[in-house]
Amino acid sequence: MIFVRENGRTIPKEDKIFAISNRAKEAIAKYGKENVINGTVGALFDDEGKLIVLKSVDRVFKSLTPDEYAPYAPIGGTPEFKAAIKKAAFGSYEPKGFTEAVATPGGTGGVRNTVSNFSAFGDRVLVADWFWAPYKTICQEIGRDIQTFKFFNEEGGFNIDDFKANVLELLEMQESLVIIINSPAHNPTGYSLTVNDWRNIKAIFEKTPQDKHVALLVDAAYIDFAGDEEQYRQFLPVLDEMPENVLPIVGYSASKTFTMYGMRCGAMICIAKTPAIAQEFKQACEFSSRGSWSNCNRAPQTIIAKIYADPELKKMVDEERAEYRDMLLRRGRAFEKAAKECGLEMVPFDAGFFASVPMPNPDEVAAELEKENIFLIPLAKGIRTSVASVPEDKCKLIPARIKAAMERLAEK
């Protein structure tokens, strides 16, 4: 670097995911989409390979007047948006704690503001060893780093013991701790923490030093694509019952739920034990927003507020989404079944956009698969397939092809 100060960051020459995604697009242009599998994209596509945008949402978008999209929104979001996004995040559950919502650009902004406000420079943020790579980017960008715990135990469940060991270690080293748990329908594995997993987490915090504060960010970006909306929100009461030194924050993304990825809308919502804690959450997160991106895009705030103000419209949106969600769930199950049939080990999977396969040499296997026009994302500990962007018939084919590629490489 010549002018750039790296400030402890590891700045790559190019974004690996975008590079693979570009090669996939080139292959489609060259060989036709029927001859290419593009499992790289983190967005929901229909079986014809077209991005799904809910028609009901598009209709509201088209109806917006200049007053509804052109003025600056308040830094923390419009009041109508804040009310609506809490309902979107919590469903029928009404938290006992004090909630404040702050608008963010997608889910990313909520992660960024949580790290910035609830950790100190130099701190480590605890994430699972199977993690969404930008968590590390976000931490490094503001002088923090990540530490990982083993997400799964030998039985294929949430590894509460390794989680506990890491929490204790970091609480010993630091004045406070930020933990990010991506669930339900975890990216990149598709695992969903059970209500019992959450109870075990709560039990741990009841025994850790009560003088140290923990911000527990639940990155729930995929909550509306895991299965029944109410069932997958049954962990929320456990968040509400966390001990006093734990501040649960729900990170919610409108990208997936309302199929408006490119509009950059999301929110971070606290569930605080006292009004004072909720108030300082709002103040500090709005300060961070002001000092990073200022206010957020108004159009999606208006759209979501309109959906929640109109029960008929809300019903249409929900029904439309449910159909696509069921399509997504079928794809995930088809992938899982095919893996079982060919004897390919998967990382514990439940639902959502992604499924992962563990292996020691993901970069090599991904490169091998590219030779036969299958484009998947190599991670540190395995390969991620976006079943969200691949039709069901192709989801059935992928596991055997991964297995064959692994075996070819093992023979070399």
Q: Does 116 sit near its own copies (CB under 8 A)? A: yes
**Residue whose C-alpha is closest to residue 328's, from 388, 260, 395:** 388
Task: Give 126 or 260: the residue with its C-beta nearer to its own copies.
Answer: 260
Task: Give 64 or 327: the residue with its C-beta nearer to its own copies.
Answer: 64
Task: Give 161 or 175: the residue with its C-beta nearer to its own copies.
Answer: 175
Task: Give 45 or 232: the residue with its C-beta nearer to its own copies.
Answer: 45
Calpha distance 135→240 (Å, rounded): 25
Q: Does 211 sit near its own copies (CB under 8 A)? A: no
Q: Which among 108-116, 153-161, 378-386, 399-407 is the span making contact with its own copies, rule CB under 8 A?
A: 108-116
By CB under 8 A, the residues from 380 to 409 that bind its own copies are none
Q: Does 90 sit near its own copies (CB under 8 A)? A: no
The residues, ordered by sequence, that sit 6+ positions from 363 with a Cβ below 8 Å of its Cβ are: 378
| Among positions 27, 84, 85, 138, the unique one binding its own copies when judged by CB under 8 A | 138
H or E, element range at 100: strand 98-104
Give 314-369 as a DSSP string: HHHHHHHHHHHHHHHHHHHHHHHHHHHHHT-------SSSEEEEE-S-HHHHHHHH
Task: Give 120 or 195: the residue with its C-beta nearer to its own copies.
Answer: 120
| Among positions 235, 261, 308, 353, the unique one binding its own copies when judged by CB under 8 A | 261
| Among positions 77, 105, 184, 227, the unique one binding its own copies when judged by CB under 8 A | 105
| Among positions 117, 159, 187, 189, the unique one binding its own copies when judged by CB under 8 A | 117
Q: Give me 171's structure tokens.
A: 């609480």
Q: Does 137 sit near its own copies (CB under 8 A)? A: yes
Q: Does 213 sit near its own copies (CB under 8 A)? A: yes
| Among positions 40, 119, 187, 356, the unique one binding its own copies when judged by CB under 8 A | 119
Q: Which among 79-87, 190-198, 255-263, 310-318 is the span making contact with its own copies, rule CB under 8 A?
A: 255-263
H or E, element range at 311: helix 311-342
Calpha distance 158→154 (Å, rounded): 9
Q: Does 86 sit near its own copies (CB under 8 A)? A: no
Characterize 128-145 residue by residue with b for buried, 16 or more Cβ atoms within 10 angstroms of its Cβ, and e for exposed. bbbbbeebbbbbbbebbe
Pairing label, strands 246-253, 176-182: unpaired
Q: Does 358 sit near its own copies (CB under 8 A)? A: no
In the shown chain, the binding pattern of residues 12 to 41 toward its own copies, with x for contact by CB under 8 A and - for none, equals xxxx--x-----------------------
Residue with tokens 């699972």: 128
| Among positions 283, 320, 324, 373, the unique one binding its own copies when judged by CB under 8 A | 283
| Among positions 83, 204, 284, 367, the unique one binding its own copies when judged by CB under 8 A | 284
CB 8 → its own copies: shortest distance, Å?
8
**Count of CB atoms situated within 10 Å of the CB of 234:** 14
3-state SS of 273-299 is: CCHHHHHHHHHHHHHHHHCCCCCCCHH
**Residue whose C-alpha is closest to residue 352's, from 114, 132, 50:** 132
- Count of residues interacting with its own copies (CB under 8 A): 79
Task: Give 84 or 339: the residue with its C-beta nearer to its own copies.
Answer: 84
